[in-house]
A = this chain, B = another copy of it.
Amino acid sequence: MCVKKNTSSNRVNKMKIAIIGIGLIGGSMALKLKQKQFATKVYGVDFNEQHLTDAKKLKIIDKISDLENAVQNSNVIIIAIPVDGTKKILSKILDLITDKQTVLDVGSTKSGIIKSIERHPKRNRFVATHPMWGTENSGPEYATLDAFKERAAVICDAENSAKDALELAQKLYENLEMNLLYMNSEDHDIHTAYISHISHITSYALANTVLEKEKEEDTIFQLASSGFSSTVRLAKSHPEMWVPIFKQNKENVLDVLNEHITQLRKFKSALEKENYDYLEELILNANKIRGILK
């Protein structure tokens, strides 16, 4: 607790923030941090001109900027782009900053990103984080004020960040009203493979199954129950974001995917053998998720 007090008082308010990638996540963060007056000025950087114009019009950012200018003028730099982009850009950003600045990423994978800068002289100015929220939509027009409220935010390998940088990240997530969790980056990537990445693959594969088999698109549209829509929702998520995640977390995702195919084969076997007691057993086991998820 005293760790927090040491340095936070003169740094945690009235921040100038650069957001690299002003989409759903970066935009939602900007909205809340401004409302909370944690951020007094937000610089937006994005290669998508439309996103920049939209973000400015929606008052998500105060100034459209290039990377160098945004980084130079900010206390905190938040990288909120696909994880392959983060891997490419992070080292360059660390080159540009002083020891008074802090860099955060918000990507869905952590090990690869951290490894890419582990020997950088400014490594300790970087805090690797993952706010656990997202939707199938992208772009600043989907940004919302209370997107992150009461959800989990993970901070990885916290011991490798400077005390004041870590405290600033903590304060930032407190302003987003998130619940902070700490783990090492390897554990993070294993857990997210189970809790998030595999859901996207099943959802994509389910959409492809239905699109392959059900040629009458009109029937899908008319019959689709809320259950189907819910299960297939993530299949709308864009490849620009998800291919790099699967690539960086390949081993863990493959491990869970193999297990998932094994689990599906159990359902197949129960049906083929008309073993309905076994089918019931499989379902009763799945029902345990009821006690774990709200």
Contact = CB atoms under 8 A, between A and B. Distances in A.
A260 B257 CA distance: 13
Interface stretch (A16-24, A156-164, A165-173, A209-217): A209-217
B195 A225 contact: yes
Contacts of A235: 286-287, 289-290
A246 B231 contact: no
A23 B220 CA distance: 27
Chain A contact residues: helix, strand, loop or mixed: helix
A212 B289 CA distance: 11
Interface stretch (A96-104, A112-120, A266-274): A266-274
A89 interface: no
Residue picked from A133, A230, A246, A284, most chain B C-beta under 10 Å: A230
A163 B194 CA distance: 53
B267 A204 contact: yes
Determine the interface band of chain A, counting residues with CB < 8 A from chain B.
35 or more
Residue picked from A199, A211, A268, most chain B C-beta under 10 Å: A199
Interface stretch (A41-49, A70-78, A237-245): A237-245
B234 A287 contact: no
Interface in A200-229: 200-214, 216-217, 219-229
**A-B pairs, 8 with minimum CB distance:** A204-B286, A207-B286, A239-B283, A205-B263, A199-B231, A207-B289, A235-B286, A209-B260
Given A199-B227, A206-B263, A235-B289, 17 more contacts: A135-B227, A191-B216, A194-B209, A195-B224, A196-B225, A199-B231, A202-B202, A202-B264, A208-B266, A209-B256, A213-B256, A221-B292, A238-B287, A239-B283, A253-B271, A254-B268, A254-B271
Interface of A: 132-136, 151-152, 154, 179, 181, 191-192, 194-196, 198-214, 216-217, 219-239, 242-243, 246-247, 250, 253-261, 263-268, 271-272, 274, 276, 279-280, 282-290, 292-294
